[in-house]
Amino acid sequence: MIKGKIHFLLALVGIEALGPENSRPQLNIPSIEGGRMKKYILLSLIVILTIPGCSIFNRINLNGIYKGTIQGTQNGWSISMSVDMTLNQIGDRVNGTWNTSGGTSGTLSGDIQGDNIKDFTIIQSNPCSGTFTGSAVIYDNGEEIRGNYHGTSCYGTVSATVEVFKQ
């Protein structure tokens, strides 16, 4: 993936990357006035864009409204319901609210680490209190989130998976 980004950036500034796709590229830099500064700028961009977590090509954005489904068990009985979430991302932290077609609602929060949400905490506030923990995986830079969680509420013990899509 990084090779593709580098080839793309090189092409943007008119530099050809020669050699087979899986080999180390040899640069054919056109000779133009001011070319040295162009090289320094290009190399700076390559370094910045290839540092994990800093790439403009892979920026995760979890801000927005998500809709999807929850499936699992509650006290050993199967459950399935739709869920709506409104998420707000600030840096590497995500917070939000949720409500389900089953009449439950509350808040959620977690830490974003790469394409994962770690230390995912779900607090149910309606119709009664409950606390759940889990983890999730982020797909397509935040267009889809899939995870699992478990915990207890006034309804009993819950273990479930959630899959939501940005609207």
Where are the chain's structural domains?
2-58, 64-166
What CATH number does domain 64-166 carry, 2.40.128.20, 1.10.10.10, 3.30.70.2740, 3.40.50.460?
2.40.128.20
Q: What pLDDT is stored for residue 59 in this prediction?
A: 85
Residue 55 pLDDT > 50:
no
Beta strands (DSSP E) in 64-155 are 64-74, 77-90, 93-100, 105-113, 116-126, 130-139, 144-153
Q: What pLDDT is stored for residue 35 in this prediction?
A: 64
Q: Which of 90, 104, 101 is nearest to 68 (CA)?
A: 101
Q: What pLDDT is stored for residue 70 in this prediction?
A: 98
Q: What pLDDT is stored for residue 33 in this prediction?
A: 55
Token pair in block for residue 145 = 């989130």
Query: In the predicted model, what is the mean pLDDT of residues 113-136?
Result: 96
- Residue 53 CA to residue 57 CA, distance in Å, equals 10
**Which of 2-11, 94-103, 146-155 is predicted with the least confidence, judged by mean pLDDT?**
2-11
